[in-house]
Structure 1
Amino acid sequence: MADDKDSNLILPDNLPGLNAWKARRHLLDTKDLSVEEVDALISVAKLCKNIHSKGRPPLTVLSHKVVGNLFYENSTRTRSSFELAARKLGASVLNLDIRMSSVAKGETIEDTARTLVSMGVDAVVQRHSSSGSAHKLAELLKDEVHVLNAGDGWNAHPTQALLDLFSMQETGKAIKGRKVAIIGDITHSRVARSNIWLLQKLGAEIHVAGPPTLVPVELDSFGVTVHEKLEPAIKDADFVIALRLQLERQDEGLIPSIGEYKRLYRLDHERIKRCKADVRVLHPGPVNRGIEITDDLVDDSKVSLVNLQVANGIAVRMAVLYLLMYDGEDS
């Protein structure tokens, strides 16, 4: 690896988990990540954040690589974050506009992916509304390209969980033994699933709360403590993750009304007094201000990690792209 400290990453050769990343082809969810792989990724993310925050020119470690963004759902943070992360590593980025592509004419996901491969992309970052679509794409493309899951239906959103973890750790708290409360629509949340898989792996105690219609009853069989009411879920919590409420859930009859949801589950300064004194609040965004969290709590930098999460998304996605794609060649 090049040793120009201002243009490339320098990792210790004995970094635990590094060999596992070298053998890994895809990032589809957090379930199959080992603790060592997670630790390695966080170590690389710290280096990437340091480089990114200092405003240095792009690195050259992926200057011979092409990353294709294939987003079938709207996204601001994730798509922009992946694009900036790839460019910061020196990669070229191909953004496929689904509305203007052959997909709008009925082309299948498989054919679109094959087209990207034929164009010479080295990795595909995909977001799709169908759960399991990232696994299907990885099986189709096998070892031809790397597949990174940027969210598939209700199933998984691994880089969101990883950036949430990174943000939690930056508060100085070790995750093992910490109480993490996840509040809201658990059933339809890929963010909740990926966080539960990841944080439990690292020894966190997970509590969830939300309307009974939006919380899977089987969660308790996976070691998650389920509450119908907010208060016991957040009592003495170290971290609270508020999930975005899809407003159409009211039309589907899954919640009585937005007003009732706010009355029972909205986070505010008064309610978080039940948490640890140094509690931190997270949200995957975009925030429905005043519904999941009050405006003043979102904007309270002493408590809210929301802006930090956005910033850390770039560093974490730089780390993921680097660990999956770097092959020892620099320009």
Structure 2
Amino acid sequence: MKTVKSSNFAALTSTRRSALAVIAGLAVAGASWAQGAFPDKPIRVVVPFGAGSSPDVISRLWGEQLSKAVGQPVIIDNKPGAATIIGTQAVLAAPADGYTLLYTVSNTTSINPYIYKNLPYKAEDLMPVSRILSVPLVLVVSANSPIKSVQQLVQAGKEKPGKMNYASYGIGISTHVAMARFLSSAGISMTHVPYKDGGLIDVMNGNVDVSFEPSTTAMGQLKAGKLRALGVSSLKSVAALPGVPPIADVYPGFVGDSWHGILAAKGTPAAVINKIAGISQQIIDSEEFRKRLTDLGLVPAGGSIREFQAFMAEDAKAWAKVVKDYDIKAE
């Protein structure tokens, strides 16, 4: 029988103890991973618009379905102001762990970087997760306006250069930039009148000649007979707005839609982003969610993270050109 020297025995014992410690450590790590699987606490979704706005309404519909899917509360945190900048900063100030997400619109990454000289964030600070929908903008005038078509609006603008005016939700907001694109396409000029609330009441009263209004807020006033729709900013007609032609029918290639999407802070784990993106796609594909969007005049989007990333790049490129051509600046 071969004996083991005491020194060798001690070394062997030490090795076994180390191995057992490693195994025990792996077991604890495994248990810890299982307990900490995302999400294991409420998810906060920052919406950079006020309660009752289109992003607020849709984010709550989406959040309710996300909550059911992950078994955790989804808390909508409204932080309006400064063309989505305040809400975006709040997300970037939080840990990049997926527990703070941004439900925002095109302004955040497609317009703000080109109109603000000292923007406190970069588009690259945000990671795409899911494009939820497109928001067609409706070119509207008062129901009492003599203007009944895009062609008539352009003709009036040419007859009274610079004397007509249009409303928007503020300098650099999508409704402003979309109108700049339209005026450029038509070769006419109008005076911009920015409003915090979009100025829709003044359009209905005829105090302002025209505006681009998101489909969600335009539809009610159209049905009430207070507004007249001249066209939509989508390349195709919108199911909820029958009889309203795309502006692209007059100016081929014209598009001015905004979009809603989920973004996360740079550095958020890929597994977390993939999980949220996968659930979001299931939500977008559901008949109930799609019907709700369609009824509101919105267009369901969806697609892969990579497709959303490519879309954001093209969208930013297009709006950057409009901003430059029309010399749009904001403080």
Shorter chain as denominator, the TM-score bin is 0.3 to 0.5
Normalized per residue, which structure has more strand?
2
Q: Which has the higher contact order (CA 8 A, sep 6+)?
A: 2
Larger radius of gyration: 2
Normalized per residue, which structure has more helix?
2
